[in-house]
Structure formats: structure tokens, C-alpha cells
Structure 1
Amino acid sequence: MKRAAHIGGFTLLEMLIAMVILAILASIALPSYLSYVLRSNRSEAQALLSEAASRQERYFTQNNSYASTAAALNMTSYVANLKSYSLSISNVGAATYTLTATAIGSQVKDKDCKTLTLDQAGAKGYSGTAASASTCWP
């Protein structure tokens, strides 16, 4: 009597062990990945604030005052296309302004750097749980 050829395969126990290992790896890797995405999205805020500051200075040379809205800086469409931050302009005076990039959408999960700020003197600030501004402004 001949035996049938053995066809290789996985047992249910082997499949369960493999699934447990994958679940453990995913539970470690996914939070790290999400944290990386939040940190990398901060570059959008930094670019936004740098662009707005540049336009503020250009506006000042033409009007001898700073703009109080993104529309005055011709940034309406630029700001509308952002996915992670919104722009606000405050503390506008004869020689002062403060630009603020506020997290929106999925970026609000970034507890370290909820907002980034930049003023006319180039002072960089933030609000959130980060230990220092260098966390938000590398």
C-alpha cells in the first residue's frame, strides 16, 4: 500500500503563533510610525510660518505696516491647501506681529507642539507638552 505524498502546510497552532508575533510587532511599530508622521508634519507649519514672515516683511516695505490677514499677504489659496495646520496673525502693531500655525485634522494628536509661533523679531515659540522649543523647532 502506497502512502499519499505529503502536502506541506501550516497547522492552526502555527498560524496562531505567527499572528500573535505579527500583532506584537504591529503594536510596537505603529505608535512609533504615527509619532514620526506627526513630527514630520511640523515641517509644514515651519514652512508656512517662514513664508508668511517673508510676505509680512515684503508687505511692510510696501505699506509701512504689517498685514493682519492672510488675504492681505496673498496667502489665501496657500493656506487653504494645507492639510495639517491653519494660519492666524495676531498682535499686529506698527512694528510687531505674531504668526501662529495651529494643528488641524489628524495633526491635533500632536500633543507636544499644538501650535507654533513666529514673530517679527524671529522669535520662535510653541504651545504643547514639549520640554523645549527645540522639540518643535529643530
Structure 2
Amino acid sequence: MTLRPLHRHELARRVGAQAGFSLIELMVVVAIIAVLAAIAYPSYTQHVIKANRSAAEGCLSEYSNYMERYYTTNLGYNQQPASGSTAAIPFSTPALDCAATSQTGNNYQYTVPAPSATGYTAEATPIGTLQTKDTLCGTLTINQQGQRNISGTGTLAQCW
């Protein structure tokens, strides 16, 4: 038995029958990718929200540390700085590095509204798209006693 070489038209017919994908196969692949994307995207956005919230919590801790250092130096949270001091008056909400737009400033606005001589509350309010996306926690706050609070619909354990 001898094997003869295939002619060009026979080879093209055999290869042509096996080459490429059918439209049904392609549609199945597209449907699988769409289902995976529909599951993955909401999970991804929730992780981004949690990451932004964690950064804001860290920044609030930095504001709290600043306020405690200020109290130690000036014996009050709302006292004028000692003469020659470069400390910012706390009720003008100092611009700390963590609140810069390159850090968390695009997602949160930080304020320390009207501190008294013996207390303060530092707030991180979501801004922009995060304001509508993070309804679970909303505004994060911390006071001079380290008590944390939220304005959203979630629990403190979910947000801090």
C-alpha cells in the first residue's frame, strides 16, 4: 500500500472543514465572558469603595493625632497657638498630607468643625461619585475620646 500525496484541492477541503469557529461557539464564549464580567464588576467596585474608606479612616486617625499633639502643646483644642508656633489653628482644619488630592482628597473632604477647649470631632465626608456609592457608611467621624461613628445605613463594625 502506497500513500499518494494529496492534491491541492483535497488538502484545502480537509483543512477548510476544520478551520475557524462557528457563530454559535463564538456566541457561547461571549455569553460566558459577559456573565463573568457581570459578577466581577460589582465586586471590584465594592473593593474600591472599601479601599477608599480605609484610606479615609487612616487620614482621620492622622487628624486625631494632630489634634492630640495640638492639645498637648496649647492645653486646649481651640486655643490660639503659642507665640512662634507654626501649628495651624484646629478650627481652620489643617491641610494634612493624607487629605491631598493625590492621596484621599478626591474622595473625601475632611473637617474639624468648631472644636471646644476640651473636645473635637473630626469628619471625613465622601464627595463626588463616592458620595452616592458609599451609602453603607456615609460620613465617618472620630472624637477626642477615640469614639467612632458613621452617618450611613450600615453598622459601625462594617465601616470601621
Of stretches 32-41 and 118-127 in structure 1, the one that deviates more from structure 2 is 32-41
| Contact 1:85–1:103 (Cα < 8 Å) also in 2 | yes
Aligned residues: 133
Residues 64-95 of structure 1, C-alpha deviations (whole Å, 9 max, x = no match):
22121223xx52x5423323211011251110
Provide the alpha-carbon RMSD of the alignment: 1.7
> How far apart in 1 are the matches of 2:44 and 2:100?
27
**TM-score, with normalisation over the residues of structure 1?**
0.87
- Larger radius of gyration, structure 1 or 2? 2
Q: Secondary structure, in 3 states, of the residue corresponding to 2:150?
A: strand
Equivalent of residue 80 in structure 1, options 97, 100, 116: 100
Q: Write the letter of the residue equivalent to 1:88.
A: T
> What's 1:121 paired with?
145
> What's 1:16 paired with?
27
Question: Post-superposition shift, 1:13?
Answer: 1.4
> How far apart in 1 are the matches of 2:139 and 2:20?
54
Equivalent of residue 110 in structure 1, options 112, 116, 134: 134
| Contact 1:44–1:85 (Cα < 8 Å) also in 2 | no
Structure 1 stretches of 4+ with a deviation exceeding 3 A read: none
> How far apart in 2 are the matches of 1:87 and 1:110?
16
Residues 110-136 of structure 1, C-alpha deviations (whole Å, 9 max, x = no match):
111111100001000001121x10111
| Structure 1: tracts of 5 or more residues without a match | none
Equivalent of residue 43 in structure 2, options 25, 32, 35: 32
| Structure 2: tracts of 5 or more residues without a match | 1-6, 78-89
Q: Does 1:6 align with 2:15?
A: yes
**TM-score, with normalisation over the residues of structure 2?**
0.76
